[in-house]
Amino acid sequence: SYELTQSPSVSVSPGQTASINCTGDKLGGRFAAWYQQRPGQSPLLVIYQDIRRPSGIPARFSGSNSGNTATLTISGTQAIDEADYYCQVWDISNWVFGGGTKLTVL
């Protein structure tokens, strides 16, 4: 079965750029999505089809996907961006999530 790997935690200072990686075999050949989950809330789609932002998601959120790594980048990180972030792909009748990355804004 297909697997996605994420670092458990990433720290960033306010105003700096945060990069959250998701790795999987030939991941660049699949479309990745990213979800933000703040404490006590349900997940929120922030990136889909590798690079697209849903309506209402700030432009500081961007995505890329190439080779074996998909990356969620948050530019000018704000305190409200502190959350867990999950990558997700589809693999022949299965939805696969990464283990999640806790973003701490120090």
Partner 1 sequence: EVHLVESGGGLAQPGGSLRLSCAASGFSFSSYGMNWVRQAPGKGLEWLSFLSTSSGTTYYADSVKGRFTISGDSGKESLYLQMNSLRAEDTAVYYCARVVYGGNSWSRYYYMDVWGKGTTVTVSS
Q: Which residues bind partner 1 (CB under 8 A)?
A: 31, 33, 35, 37, 42-45, 48-49, 54, 84, 86, 88-90, 93-100
Q: Whose Cβ is closer to partner 1: residue 54's or residue 76's?
A: 54
Q: Which two tokens stand for residue 2?
A: 């297909």
Least distance to partner 1, CB of residue 52, Å: 9
**Among candidate residues 44, 53, 99, 69, the one with its CA nearest the CA of residue 61:** 53
Least distance to partner 1, CB of residue 37, Å: 8
Q: Whose Cβ is closer to partner 1: residue 43's or residue 64's?
A: 43
Q: Whose Cβ is closer to partner 1: residue 19's or residue 49's?
A: 49
CA distance 30 to 9: 24
∠ CA 30-17-98, rounded to 5°: 35
Beta carbons of 18 and 101 less than 8 angstroms apart: no
